[in-house]
């Protein structure tokens, strides 16, 4: 008897700002759409625990996609992308997510992302509060400078290992060794996109003067950060949430910057609370 | 009470040379680095994943590729079985604490996988400060 997972994968082709993307996504569950973004330089396997967690799939239609250039989502098929340096911008990132939600006909989805996925969740709350029921920025802040580094693809070093081991201690030492090494493995696969992703994360994403324009009473914003996150330390997230009208901050113990991937069992406790708050504020 | 540096060096070498995660990809892990613990300095010389030598009393001009410098207290935190947040790795401590990474950092990046695994062995053998 084959041991099939209930998670299924599909491709959908969309056009975003003149780019034709064939996007791969994983899916499981029914009910309220919950669309999930992986971290920079990684792919949707980071959400493997959530995608098979029956407590959540019972009530949520969970979709975890690969951003173009990550995992099984190719770079654009209609562009000579190899002739220019990849640098992700906030505008393109937001446009992509909205186009993907439109293509999948998601009604009032909740958007959740971690790290650069968390930062774009804030961008969505600012730019498209009409399109999302709520956002859950994980390991996010209004500004996250310092990680747009040449080391991520220095030709004299093994970029796969630099990226994977360079983010190693973004994870908590308490997280299970297997999950930390799986996360390491994902990072070894994404080195060519990592630096371009971090252009958004550390350079183009800067909401320090915009937080007052986010209204979490219209589109709830529930932020969560782990105490072992050195890149977006808890105080950075708390300070961001405090400046958003109606913003909520949840601190996560004994976990780091990749909570859904490094320790789903700990993360799920906090996610349950975040979704409870969203439900309370939107029903 | 800090462990004697010679005893520490022997433990650190033994842990490194027998660590499966390092040894399975140890080939070419060849470099040297300074652990500057303020009250104590050591130079670790690696060759193909094995500790070739630990210089426990380095002279001012003894060479190495790169250096990690921090207070003795920071090194003691590194060596806790479960370090506090921001003392759980060289990136965390250099972003948020007093760790300085100096010297030829390209060599560090070229060896980052194994160096990182080896650094966490301090949680098992402690530090000599």
Q: Which helix (H) or strand (E) holds A271?
A: helix A264-282
> Does domain A8-282 correspond to CATH entry 3.40.50.1820?
yes
| Per-residue pLDDT at A225 exceeds 90 | yes
Q: In whole angstroms, give the CA distance from residue A278 to residue A258.
A: 22
Q: How many CA atoms lie within 13 A of A277 on its CB side?
A: 21
| Average pLDDT of the segment spanning B14-32 | 97
Residue environment code for B77-113, b if the CB has 16+ CB neighbours within 10 A, otherwise e: bbbeeebebbbbbbbbbbbebebeeebebebbbbbbb
8 Å CB contact of B85 and A169: no
The CATH number given to whatever domain includes residue B101 is 3.30.1050.10
Identify the pLDDT of residue A263.
98
Tokens of B59: 């002279």
8 Å CB contact of B109 and A162: yes
Q: What is the pLDDT of residues B26-69, one digit of tens each?
A: 999 999 999 999 999 999 999 999 999 999 999 999 999 999 99
* Beta carbons of A205 and A236 less than 8 angstroms apart: no
Q: Which domain holds residue B73?
A: 5-125
Q: In whole angstroms, give the CA distance from residue A101 to residue B87.
A: 40
Best CA proximity match to A170, nearest among A150, A186, A189, A158: A186
| SS3 call for A170 | helix
| Per-residue pLDDT at B1 exceeds 80 | no
The residues pairing with A242 across neighbouring beta strands, listed in sequence order, are none
* Helices A90-103 and A116-127, axial angle in degrees (round to 10): 80
Identify the pLDDT of residue B3.
86
Best CA proximity match to B40, nearest among B5, B76, B13: B5
Identify the pLDDT of residue B2.
79
Query: How many Å separate Cα A102 from the centre of its chain?
Result: 18
Q: In whole angstroms, give the CA distance from residue B27 to residue B20.
A: 13
- Measured between CA atoms, how close is A185 to chain B, in angstroms? 12
Interface-testing mutation among A144, A146, A150, A165, with chain B (most B C-beta atoms within 10 A): A165
CA angle A118, A24, A139 (to 5 degrees): 10
Identify the pLDDT of residue A90.
98
A199 falls in which pLDDT band (50, 70, 90)? very high
- Measured between CA atoms, how close is A202 to chain B, in angstroms? 14
Choose the closest CB to A230 out of B96, B112, B123.
Answer: B96
Taking CB atoms and an 8 Å cutoff, what residues of chain A touch B91? Answer: 166-170, 230
Q: What is the pLDDT of residues A240-278, one digit of tens each?
A: 999 999 999 999 999 999 999 999 999 999 999 999 999
Query: How many Å separate Cα B118 from the centre of its chain?
Result: 7
Tokens of A197: 């992703």
Question: What integer best gives the mean pLDDT of chain A?
Answer: 97
Residue environment code for A119-156, b if the CB has 16+ CB neighbours within 10 A, otherwise e: bbbbbbbbbbbebbbbbbbbbbbbbbeebbeebbbbee
8 Å CB contact of A168 and B92: no
Residue environment code for A79-116, b if the CB has 16+ CB neighbours within 10 A, otherwise e: eeeeeeebebebebbbbbbbbbbeebebeebbbbbbbb
Q: In whole angstroms, give the CA distance from residue A232 to residue B110.
A: 26
Count of domains in chain B? Answer: 1
* Beta carbons of A160 and B108 less than 8 angstroms apart: no
Question: What integer best gives the mean pLDDT of chain B?
Answer: 97
8 Å CB contact of A230 and B83: no
- Measured between CA atoms, how close is A255 to chain B, in angstroms? 9
What torsion do the CA atoms of B58, B64, B70, B75 make, to the nearest 10 degrees? Answer: -70
CA angle B48, B51, B52 (to 5 degrees): 85
8 Å CB contact of A162 and B89: no
Q: In whole angstroms, give the CA distance from residue A121 to residue A132.
A: 10
Choose the closest CB to A230 out of B86, B115, B116.
Answer: B86
8 Å CB contact of B109 and A230: no
């Amino acid at each position: 008897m084959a041991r099939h997972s209930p998670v299924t994968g599909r491709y959908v082709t969309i056009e975003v700002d003149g780019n034709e993307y064939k996007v791969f996504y994983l899916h499981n569950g029914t009910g309220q759409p919950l669309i999930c973004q992986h971290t920079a330089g990684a792919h949707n396997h980071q959400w493997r625990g959530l995608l098979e967690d029956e407590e959540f799939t019972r009530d949520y239609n969970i979709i975890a996609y690969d951003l173009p250039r990550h995992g099984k989502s190719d770079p654009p098929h209609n562009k000579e992308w190899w002739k220019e340096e990849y640098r992700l911008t906030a505008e393109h990132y937001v446009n992509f997510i909205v186009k993907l939600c439109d293509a999948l006909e998601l009604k009032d989805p909740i958007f959740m992302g971690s790290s650069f996925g968390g930062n774009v969740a804030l961008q969505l709350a600012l730019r498209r509060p009409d399109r999302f029921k709520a956002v859950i920025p994980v390991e996010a802040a209004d500004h996250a400078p310092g990680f747009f580094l040449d080391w991520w693809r220095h030709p004299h070093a093994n970029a796969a290992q630099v990226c994977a081991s360079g983010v190693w201690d973004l994870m908590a030492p308490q997280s299970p060794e297997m999950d930390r090494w799986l996360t390491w493995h994902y990072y070894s696969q994404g080195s060519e996109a990592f630096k371009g992703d971090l252009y958004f994360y550390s350079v183009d994403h800067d909401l320090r003067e915009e937080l007052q324009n986010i209204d979490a009473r219209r589109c709830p914003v529930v932020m969560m950060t782990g105490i072992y996150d050195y890149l977006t330390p808890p105080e950075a997230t708390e300070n961001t949430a405090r400046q958003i009208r109606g913003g909520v901050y949840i601190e996560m113990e004994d976990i780091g910057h990749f909570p859904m991937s490094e320790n789903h069992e700990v993360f799920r406790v906090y996610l349950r609370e975040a979704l409870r708050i969203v439900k309370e504020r939107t029903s | 009470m800090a462990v004697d540096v010679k005893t520490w060096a022997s433990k650190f070498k033994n842990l490194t040379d027998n660590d499966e995660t390092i040894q399975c990809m140890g080939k070419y892990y060849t470099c040297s680095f300074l652990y500057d613990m303020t009250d104590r300095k050591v130079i670790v010389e690696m060759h193909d994943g094995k500790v070739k030598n630990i210089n426990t009393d380095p002279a001012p001009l003894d060479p190495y590729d790169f250096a990690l410098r921090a207070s003795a207290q920071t090194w003691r935190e590194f060596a806790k079985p479960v370090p506090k947040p921001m003392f759980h790795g060289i990136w965390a401590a250099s972003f948020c604490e007093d760790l300085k990474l100096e010297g030829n950092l390209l060599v560090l990046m070229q060896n980052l996988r194994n160096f990182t695994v080896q650094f966490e062995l301090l949680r098992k053998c402690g530090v000599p400060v």
